[in-house]
Structure 1
Amino acid sequence: MDKPDYHARIEAPEMLDYGVYLNCDRLLSCQKRLSEMVNADELQFQIVHQVEELWMKLMAYTLVDVLDWLERQDTHRIVTLMGRVHRLMRLMTAQLDLLETMSPKENQQIRLQLGNGSGQESPGFKFILRLPPELWRAFKHSYLDGRGLTVADIYDAHYDHGDAYAVAEALIEFDELFQKFRANHLYLIHRSIGLGAKSLKGRPVEILEGGARHRFFPELWDIRCDMTDRWGAAYGTVRESISHPPRARAG
């Protein structure tokens, strides 16, 4: 009895309304034909990176929307949309782990198919890197300058856990999650092709490591250092122990 052609069914499944709406015929043909893959892991490699581009498209669309709501100072909408961005960042970081199921040799075989390509050329990644300065300008205009406030005011001097603080925290969480994504990506490269390699598609390791240390909103990070320095003036003061109170002296 002939074996079913499972690969044909995978590449061209039956199309009903759901598949038509999602353009599954086009979506499932965006990868190399299964018969042309260099090894069995190439499909995973392509899909993970294609899905990353889709998540980044949604993230970019959402952040552009946030820019509009920042101008309107609609804090609830901003926090909700930034929560979506945060979830997207966590998804992107988590799915990188799939690529760690590949052996170094299989990874090298796939990299030969990229030509001179590199993840640093990701269109979604490059576009998202352009948005944080716009987000900061919009936040500063609407929530700081427009209200006569500074970052120090909303975090310390006039801290009231208000909407300016809530938006600032939504921005720094995006910053933190994006840098965690970059750090995870760096470890993935370390594990799969090595950071000590003489050539990473012409991209020096320093570029990757420098990106992982970058901060979108340095003012929001610096305020923590400033507060620690200011509040830390009391750290050197010897205070009475709260766990071992001094004994009363005998009369």
Structure 2
Amino acid sequence: MATDDRPTRRELEEGIERDFSRRMSYGDYLKLDVLLSAQQPLSDPPLHDELLFIIQHQTSELWLKLLVHELRSARRLLRSDDLAPALKRLARVKHVQHTLTDQWSVLATLTPSEYAEIRPYLATSSGFQSAQYREVEFLLGNKDADMVAVFEHDPAVQVELRRLLHEPSLYDEFIAFLHRRGYPVPEELLERDWSQPHRVNEGLVDVLAHVYEKPAEHWGVYETCEELVDVEDNFQQWRFRHLQVVTRTIGHKPGTGGSSGVDFLRRALDLTFFPELYAVRTRIGR
């Protein structure tokens, strides 16, 4: 009979740091004492599944923070005509989106009975109140002034959301980029009330149809269009997965924050960030 003679332990190499009394450790750099002390269940005694609920949403907020960081950078790079690094930012955004969507499968392990036990401790708190989620939506162009009122309890957050509300979105900056590159972008899209959501513009559809007719001649713009479609597609997948998990967990109960719950989430699936990038598909191959 063969025996397994593989080692059962790994010796520490001589050069590995052991003394962190005066040097920075992994935990020091990541502030793990702060991060890992932020999970504080309100149930007493703590319910087993409340930790899952807290960690799910805290990690989502961390990823949202990175999304805001990357989208702001991509917007700034487009404004300065640095297309290649802007596309690199969008590539990272897409990977973060996949991670956020995949996370719903962890929360989906929470059964209706288990969630019912922890729901009273949420009180009126709701993911709808995520300021960073609103920042992402505003950066992508889903502007809604009514959403800003939800954050009256946090003046600093409200100021930032108002600023984003009145600034051009990522898509607005892409449209301005097209104009600077000589594409005949309709003038009304270049100077408008940025606090209003972008509405489909047939003149811009015409511009994009020209790009899609000869992609090799407009490759940078064509690639950016498809990257933006990927971002919106990923966002819709996130929304749909959220809807599915909520449906299997609470059915058609109202949301903790006062919304109608599933019906409210379903209406979000009709929202679009980049309408012309979808409208142009009807033109292709006519």
Q: Which bracket does the TM-score occupy, shorter chain normalised?
A: 0.7 to 0.9
Identity, in percent, stands at 31
CA distance in 2, matches of 1:73, 1:166: 15
Residue in 2 that maps onto 1:17: 25
Q: After TM superposition, list the pairs within 5 Å mapping 1:62-211 onto structure 2.
A: 62-133=70-141, 134-144=169-179, 146-149=181-184, 150-156=207-213, 158-160=214-216, 162-194=219-251, 196-197=252-253, 199-201=254-256, 202-204=258-260, 205-211=262-268
CA distance in 2, matches of 1:38, 1:50: 18
Describe the shift of the 1:99–1:147 C-alpha distance in structure 2 as closer, same or farther (beyond 3 A).
same
CA distance in 2, matches of 1:48, 1:203: 21
Deviations 1:117-169 (A, max 9, x none): 1111112111111101211110001124642251111112x432510111111
Describe the shift of the 1:142–1:37 C-alpha distance in structure 2 as closer, same or farther (beyond 3 A).
farther
Pair member with larger Rg:
1
Residue in 2 that maps onto 1:10: none
Partner secondary structure for residue 76 of structure 1: helix
CA distance in 2, matches of 1:81, 1:90: 15
Partner secondary structure for residue 116 of structure 1: coil
CA distance in 2, matches of 1:37, 1:86: 40
Q: Under a length normalisation based on structure 2, what TM-score does the superposition of the two structures give?
A: 0.70
Larger helix share, 1 or 2:
1
Cα displacement (A) at 1:36: 4.1
CA distance in 2, matches of 1:173, 1:107: 33
Corresponding pairs, count: 213
| Consecutive unaligned residues in structure 1, runs of 5 or more | 1-13, 232-251
Residue pair 1:172, 1:217 contacting (<8 A) in 2 also: yes
| Consecutive unaligned residues in structure 2, runs of 5 or more | 1-19, 142-168, 185-206
CA distance in 2, matches of 1:34, 1:27: 17
Partner secondary structure for residue 50 of structure 1: helix
Partner secondary structure for residue 40 of structure 2: coil
CA RMSD, Structure 1 to Structure 2 (Å):
2.1
Residue pair 1:37, 1:43 contacting (<8 A) in 2 also: no
Q: Under a length normalisation based on structure 1, what TM-score does the superposition of the two structures give?
A: 0.79
Which of 217, 228, 237 is 2:274 aligned to?
217
